[in-house]
A and B are shown apart, each in its own frame.
Chain A
Amino acid sequence: MGALTLTNVTKSFGSTDVIKGVDLQVEHGEFCVFVGPSGCGKSTLLRMIAGLEDVTGGDVMIDGERVNDRAPAKREIAMVFQSYALYPHLDVRANMGLALKQAGVARDEIRAMTDKAAGMLSLDALMDRRPAELSGGQRQRVAIGRAIVRRPKLFLFDEPLSNLDAALRVQTRIEIARLHRELGATMVYVTHDQVEAMTLADRIVVLRAGRVEQVGAPMDLYKDPANTFVAGFIGSPQMNFLKGAALGMRSETVGLRPEHLRPDNDGPISGSVSHVEKLGGETLVYVTTEAHGLLTLRLFGEHDYDVDSVLRLGFDAARAFHFGADGLRLRD
């Protein structure tokens, strides 16, 4: 029995179906990331697991117990929100200890547990401050600390890093990964940042419009996407989608990652360079083609191309992904 099991879970707001039947099993100690475009229902699904949103149909099981009708506080979960959601009238220590206090834990024990969590997140110096006196990054660390203190069966994160600036985001991401290793806890993490998804996840769940498109380890999704949606969503820059007919192939769509396209004077694709981005270690070349639209080319090292110059491209046929008219992967 997994740490979290969803069986045909659905959710409707009035007549709009937001979650349309999700089945998922998350194992103990697993780091599971939900990704998908905005509005696909990631937060809604997470809130249903937390018990903040009623389940319209199906079962939510945490650690083998059906919790559909159980209050959030009784589910032994902890949640970290995008907006931190710290209690403004309490200092850091009280913020972190509130859940334990509500559960009737003795005062010394609360103190010991909050101190321990504070040590893990280097919050010791901030324990007597109010949320208003903390920076954004510190606030989010306190929010994470508040989650740790409870020793929940399941950690839920809803885009915890999106309010932080780039440097802090990387730092906090590493911290979350470390906590996952140290605590060995089960975590469900929502994000629309695919770098976060790829780097943190043991398993990624790709959602689209309330349905699971594909579930798998980051590299499995990258190397073996089930359809054009997943292929386009995982990997950055995005996969190029070419017209199969124009290449003389039988599949409707041919997917090629930017790094698998190369300049080739005998190549089957011709276009003109529309823009070049040099990133130091790599160069991105954007090529406009008649047949396939804008293609992205990723080259290692530094390269120079004149804008509007004509460029022919080739690729290794073994690297190409083939998709049918319905967007599903064709496997021969």
Chain B
Amino acid sequence: MSIARNQGTLTRSIAAHAALLTWTVIALFPVFVIVINSVKSRRVIFADPLALPTAETFDLVGYQTVLAQGDFLLYFTNSMIVTMASLFFVLLFGAMAAFALSEYRFRGNLLMGLYLALGIMIPIRLGTVAILQMMVATGLVNTRTALVLVYTAQGLPLAIFILSEFMRNVSSDLKNAGRIDGLSEYTIFFRLVLPLVRPAMATVAVFTLIPIWNDLWFPLILAPGESVKTITLGSQVFIGQFVTNWNAVLAALSLAIVPVLVLYLIFSRHLIRGITAGAVK
């Protein structure tokens, strides 16, 4: 009886793991192909794209080209600045708006919430022309500020939507205890509520971070200047109309994965860890 049940769970666990593994392989395959090909010589990339690099085919020419290109570090820094700044503002303003929407009763609360969430369904790219005109008018074309502003606007709707759901679940007794003890609303927000919604913040951070880092559209339109190029845009120099330097493109892409990976690892620690335990009940 119990053996039969054990077998049942075993089969089920094998099935679950098989499904997860398949999914992982499918998801990681493109990344894997990019990384292995980035360290192969040009001929082998085309001759046998799926082969692992061997001693003969191993070639770091892509990385050499990319690093020798000189501006690569600059592009990298630009991407980093734009992404981190946008992320910071999305999380800060998103959390504040979510707190206001979930905590305070005021006229138009619901409408305001709907309005702020509407952006999830309407792609910001539809407004590209208007955004470009605005940036031209304010003289922000070819600045990182332009990108930060656009990405903050792009990330806020989802952030507010997710965070306000989570903040509704933070014990109101806890906030009220803070009020009775004389904490200001800001302290309640920063010290009591934010730490409790940290897992949600990490989720939002990951969802916000990746599209910004990978975006090609807005850098191309709003900030194509040499000094403010992001890495995704910078990598495009290797893709020509007639010749494409695949070694360099693949190397640049491989390098571009690293920071997202690092940031993801940082946030995912919080995704798992919850500190609500013991706060209430």
Contact = CB atoms under 8 A, between A and B. Distances in A.
Contacts of B176: 47, 50, 52, 72, 79, 81, 85
B281 A72 contact: no
Interface residues of B, number: 22
A292 interface: no
Nearest to B176: A52
B279 A88 contact: yes
A130 B278 CA distance: 8
Contact of B182 (A73, A84, A85): A73
A291 interface: no
A88 B280 CA distance: 8
Given A52-B176, A132-B277, A132-B279, A85 B171 contact: yes
Interface in A311-327: none
A188 to B, nearest CB: 14
Given A81-B173, A83-B171, A139-B278, A89 B182 contact: no
A163 interface: yes
Interface in A103-118: 103
B281 A99 contact: no
Contact of B177 (A47, A81, A103, A139): A81
B265 interface: no
B181 interface: yes
A198 interface: no
Nearest to B191: A89
Contacts of A89: 191-192, 195, 275
B278 A99 contact: no
A87 interface: yes
Interface of A: 47, 50-52, 71-73, 77-79, 81-89, 98-99, 102-103, 130-134, 136, 139, 146, 163
Given A71-B179, A87-B178, A136-B281, 8 more contacts: A73-B182, A88-B279, A89-B191, A98-B183, A99-B180, A102-B183, A131-B278, A139-B278
12 contacts: A50-B176, A52-B180, A79-B177, A82-B173, A83-B171, A85-B174, A85-B279, A86-B177, A87-B174, A89-B275, A99-B181, A146-B181
